[in-house]
Amino acid sequence: MIMEIKKQWTEEFPTEPGFYWFYGYLYGHKFGPEFALIEVLKASNNNMAYIAHGKIVYKKDVVLPHFQKADLPELPVLEW
């Protein structure tokens, strides 16, 4: 039996560190909508930092954001 679980997307920027799926316009309407894995970090000034494709994402540049917590697999232990 296959069980389908549908997660909810939110338009609110994440407030907890972790990885999130993103769909929307990262850099305004200059480019088409993007599907990206975003890393959310807590900066030293207690603000949240959003990283996509190795670049900082600024809230003011984002248009029609949609976020969903990403479930990443547990990694195997690598031993030499």
Question: Per-domain residue ranges for the chain?
Answer: 18-69
pLDDT at 32: 87
pLDDT at 80: 84
- Give pLDDT tens digits along the chain (80 positions): 455 556 789 999 999 999 999 999 998 888 889 999 999 999 999 999 999 999 999 999 999 999 999 988 898 999 98
CA 50 to centroid of chain Cα atoms: 7
pLDDT at 2: 55
| DSSP-assigned states of every residue in 55-77 | EEE-GGG-EEEEEEE--PPPPPP
pLDDT at 5: 54
Give the CB-side neighbour count of residue 54, counting CA atoms within 13 A. 0
The whole-model pTM stands at 0.81
26: phi then psi, degrees, rounded to nearest 5? -75, -35
- In whole angstroms, give the CA distance from residue 67 to residue 22: 5
CA 19 to centroid of chain Cα atoms: 5
